[in-house]
Structure 1
Amino acid sequence: MNESRATGKPASAGANTDPTISKRGKARQKTSDDEALPRAEREGLWRIENAEAIAEQNEYVAKHGLPFAKYRQF
């Protein structure tokens, strides 16, 4: 028996079984422009778009170290 960790109820107990809702969700996913691109290309675009924020985070870590590093156990 597959139970939800949060509720302890069977996993299918809260599942939506209306097929029209799942079809609409799938249709939304397929219409996304980003989904039409290959994964590697999407990842490359994401890195370009977020390069500034990534650089800022790398600078912070270089200057201050990892957050909560004193609590790490590995």
Structure 2
Amino acid sequence: MRTRIVYARMKHDNLMSGKRKPLNVTIDTGIVQAARDAGLNLSKVSEAGLIEAIRHENERRWHEENHAALDSSNRWVERNGLPFAKHRPF
């Protein structure tokens, strides 16, 4: 008796809907040719680049929005030291 293993595709990324949308984009012809010569999938590489750009921008915005709180916390630690520092084994 053979056991069939089924792997469920898990959705780890909240950016990904699992649906595809065809788009028209304009990319320099030299880049397109180099990507094809390298055997790259333009859609997948473009998608990966967009995901990275989105994550970078979201991180930048988070730091911008939380800058004051982070600075305040850092100033407190500079004045008072780390909480429970005396209990740290290192």
TM-score (norm 2): 0.42
Percent identical residues: 42
Q: CA deviation at 1:44?
A: 0.6
| Match of residue 47 from structure 1 | 63
Task: Please state how far the C-alpha of 1:39 moved relative to its aligned partner.
Answer: 1.1
Rg: which structure is higher? 2
Q: Greater helix share, 1 or 2?
A: 1
Q: Deviations over 1:27-63 (max 9, x none)?
A: xx449xxx8x621111110000000100100010000
Q: Distance in 1 between matches of 2:68 and 2:86?
A: 28
Runs of 4+ in 1 over 3 A off after TM superposition: none
Give ranges in structure 2 of 5+ residues lacking alignment. 1-10, 17-50
**Count of aligned positions:** 48
CA distance in 2, matches of 1:61, 1:30: 35
TM-score (normalizing by structure 1) = 0.51
Structure of greater relative contact order (alpha carbons < 8 Å, 6+ residues apart): 2
CA RMSD between the two structures: 2.6
Gaps of 5+ in 1: 1-25
